[in-house]
Amino acid sequence: MTELESRIIVELSKKVVDNIAKKYEKIRRGVDVIMGGKVIETEAKKMYIRGIKIGEENGRIEGRNEGRSEGLKDQIKKKLAKGKDIAQIADEIEESEDTVLELIKQIEAEKK
């Protein structure tokens, strides 16, 4: 929720409370204090922080996966340069032949 959306909700909530509790000044003031930002901003801030944490974690996972993939590609390049076949490479790097073939395709695509 953006700051603008939060403020709109607060303003609309105040209007609703003002109309519902016209005769009850203490209630209107109490709701105004609560809706003045504390409750909504706190929840909005929690959502924002949760979103940031999820994004950071996803970024770390993606980075690790990319790093692992790059490391495997480097190993495959070296083993291909030594004349090793797909089965040998797969066995040595402990991956399936399909994975090795897919990584070789990626290596070829990166050359272009």
How high is the pLDDT of residue 5? 76
CB-count exposure of residue 89 (10 Å: 0-12, 13-18, 19+): buried
Alpha-helix runs per DSSP H in the chain: 3-20, 25-33, 39-81, 86-93, 97-111
- Whether the per-residue pLDDT at 18 is higher than 90: the answer is no
- Whether the per-residue pLDDT at 94 is higher than 60: the answer is yes
How high is the pLDDT of residue 49? 84
- Whether the per-residue pLDDT at 44 is higher than 70: the answer is no
User: With bands split at pLDDT 50, 70 and 90, how would you rate the model's confidence at 39?
Assistant: low
Amino acid at 22: K
How high is the pLDDT of residue 8? 75
pTM of the model: 0.56
Can you tell me which residue has the tokens 């204090």? Answer: 33
